[in-house]
Chain A
Amino acid sequence: MEISLDWYLALSAVLFAIGVLGVLFRRNAIVILMSVELMLNAVNLSLVAVSQSIGDLSGQILVFFVMSVAAAEAAVGLAIVIAIFRKKVSVDVNDFTLFRY
């Protein structure tokens, strides 16, 4: 039985929404980073599904770029988290309040 495109898109939307909620409601910088990765991978899922269903390869090429960008982003992001942990001994984003209005 063929699974139709709509199901893939729906699953991807649900995963993306979980990622967004994670970013908005979790206060740990590393968990926020993980939620962002979940958002990117949700998008990858829909890109591959759409690409397969319309028979066009460029969507899958974009997926490769997304994966490498996600890896680069995680490297830089974790480095920044380590740098701030050395200063404040915390990764809770509520503690980072040096700049205000």
Chain B
Amino acid sequence: MDLTGAYASLGSDLGNAFSLVLLSVVGLVMVVWDSLRNDHRAIPWIGVAASVLAISFELLRMPGPAEKIFYGLMWAGGYASFVNIIILAATAFTLAISVHYLDRIGHNYGEVYSLVVFASAGMIVLGSANSLITVFVGLETMSICLYILTGLVRTEEGSVESALKYFLLGAFSTGFFLYGIALLYAATGTLYLDEMPAALAGGAGSEVLLWGGVGLLFIGFLFKVSAAPFHMWTPDVYQGAPTTLTGYMSTASKASAFAALVLVVYHALPAERWMLVLAIVAAATMILGNVVAIAQSNVKRMLAYSSIAHAGYVLVGIAAGTTAGYSGALFYLLVYTLMNIGAFGVMAALEWDGHVGQKQDLDSLAGIGYRKPLLGVSMGFFMFSLTGFPPLGGFIGKYAVFAPAIDAGLTWLVIVGLLTSAASAYYYLRVLYVFWMKSPEEEAAPALDQLMASPLSMSTSVVLVVCAGLLLVLGIYPGVLESTTLFFSDSAAAVAAIR
């Protein structure tokens, strides 16, 4: 490789990777700020400001085609910008709703926010990777931060236990993921995703190494997005982790892992052989997530199973194996992020003490709707959207992943998806029933009165209203969906031009 002008080229690429650089620097600033000053009230808002700045940068970059930066290690612009916007929005929302929540549970440390920002930097690396090295580094930066965040409330058994489970299973799956990378490297002789098709067409490596590698790599990805046979950790981890951070984990980390999976299948692998495997995984994930969610009485655990089910819907779009399917999957991730951050935000606002409120059984939430109308109404938006009712974003999202699957001949899979969505209405709407139509039991009343005494924090209200409003906008005006399709046609042209 010719390295003359390498530093100049790296320097000019720093501007293209603006959000990544900004988040990394801001994360460091937050750590230093926290150690130098006793007062850390400003720290989360530094992170929010950085995320908003980065979002506006990515919005400017999004219309252009994706281009390779850092000697082909990463993508910037186009769909990479779209994925970054999802991640950055999730980061900003999470930081904003976490302040009040962490204050109340008595674990408001400055470094929590910098860990969230570092995890986001890892997610950006993962979601815009063009080399398996970048995929691995991004994935691990993200995962290690999330292990720490899960075990944040270390005085509590549930939190530490879920952190240990997440860590052991996560490290285990990393091993498979990495072995998959090694086998793919042996089969193709390159770690760059967009060089793999050419190497495969040349018949470079052995079939056994290639498909063994692809299988192991998929196991690693399916674990991270909690798809069916590898979902066991999800409910435990989501239930034990602090609620706002659970919302972050279930959205941003899933979005970036799915984005990397899309990049791998889009650039590197021919569709016809793995399509059926992913379709079967998607069907199993949708059935398992939705059926088990029906049986849950704890709302946080129910939302964990629901997030498994939604991973299944995204997989339907990817299993279609067409550009329309991939862009549908990306669009679904945007909608899913908004509704899930919102739903976990509502649950975090309802967690009012360390005892009764933290259990969050359905019975303890009776009659919330009338006492806290904002929470009740916004929860209505999120639950209807998660079910997939028009005119909310969830409906368009489901259309965006199911329609390409029908075009690709996966009608049976879409039928499974529709039937399980119908079943999901039961457990989503049951939450609303409890919120609005059930009156609280006698023994829960004192605790509820205590909740009523503490007003909703301003930042939480703003985030909930913004999430609900964006869902409505995305549902009524689905122009964003069309622009995601454009990313892939743009980048396909760009890839063709490079070859």
- A residues adjacent to B (C-beta < 8 A): 5, 9, 12, 16, 19-20, 23, 29, 32-33, 36, 39-40, 42-43, 46-47, 50-51, 54, 56, 58-59, 61-62, 65-66, 69, 72-73, 76-77, 80-81, 83-84, 87-88, 93, 96, 98-99, 101
A33 lies within 8 A of B171 (CB)? yes
Report the bound CA distance from A101 to B294 in whole Å.
12
Report the bound CA distance from A9 to B185 in whole Å.
12
Nearest 4 pairs of A and B residues by beta carbon: A39-B175, A99-B236, A36-B171, A50-B186
B164 lies within 8 A of A29 (CB)? yes
A48 → chain B closest CB, angstroms: 10
Report the bound CA distance from A71 to B295 in whole Å.
40
Contact residues in A for B148 (Cβ distance below 8 Å): 76
A14 → chain B closest CB, angstroms: 13
A83 lies within 8 A of B160 (CB)? yes
Which of chain B's residues 250-294 have a Cβ closer than 8 Å to chain A?
Answer: 292
Interface of B is mostly: helix
B172 lies within 8 A of A99 (CB)? no
Report the bound CA distance from A33 to B160 in whole Å.
16
Residue-wise, chain B 403-424 has the 8 Å CB interface mask toward A (1 for contact) of 0000000000000000000000
Q: Confirm or deny: B437 has a beta carbon within 8 angstroms of a beta carbon on chain A.
A: no
Closest residue of B by beta carbon distance from A84? B160
Report the contact-size class of chain B (Cβ under 8 Å from the partner).
35 or more
Beyond A73-B174, A98-B157, 11 additional contacts (C-beta under 8 Å) are A39-B178, A46-B182, A56-B189, A62-B133, A65-B137, A80-B160, A80-B164, A83-B151, A83-B160, A87-B160, A99-B240
Q: Confirm or deny: B385 has a beta carbon within 8 angstroms of a beta carbon on chain A.
A: no
B144 lies within 8 A of A99 (CB)? no
B133 lies within 8 A of A65 (CB)? yes
A62 lies within 8 A of B164 (CB)? no
Contact residues in B for A40 (Cβ distance below 8 Å): 174-175, 178
Contact residues in A for B190 (Cβ distance below 8 Å): 56, 58
Closest residue of B by beta carbon distance from A45? B182
A72 lies within 8 A of B161 (CB)? no
Which of chain B's residues 148-165 have a Cβ closer than 8 Å to chain A?
Answer: 148, 151, 154, 157-158, 160-165
B333 → chain A closest CB, angstroms: 25
Q: Show 9 A/B contacts (Cβ-Cβ < 8 Å), sorted by A.
A: A33-B171, A65-B133, A73-B171, A77-B147, A80-B160, A84-B161, A87-B160, A98-B161, A101-B295
Q: Confirm or deny: B200 has a beta carbon within 8 angstroms of a beta carbon on chain A.
A: no
Partner of B163, one of A43, A47, A80: A80
Contact residues in B for A65 (Cβ distance below 8 Å): 133, 136-137
Partner of A80, one of B147, B174, B189: B147
Contact residues in B for A84 (Cβ distance below 8 Å): 160-161, 163-164
A76 lies within 8 A of B147 (CB)? yes
Closest residue of A by beta carbon distance from B73? A58
Partner of B185, one of A36, A47, A72, A77: A47
Q: Confirm or deny: B239 has a beta carbon within 8 angstroms of a beta carbon on chain A.
A: yes
Q: Confirm or deny: B210 has a beta carbon within 8 angstroms of a beta carbon on chain A.
A: no
B191 lies within 8 A of A58 (CB)? yes
Report the bound CA distance from A54 to B295 in whole Å.
53
Partner of B181, one of A20, A42, A62, A83: A62
Known: A43-B182, A56-B190, A62-B136. A77 touches B167 (CB 8 A): yes
A40 → chain B closest CB, angstroms: 6
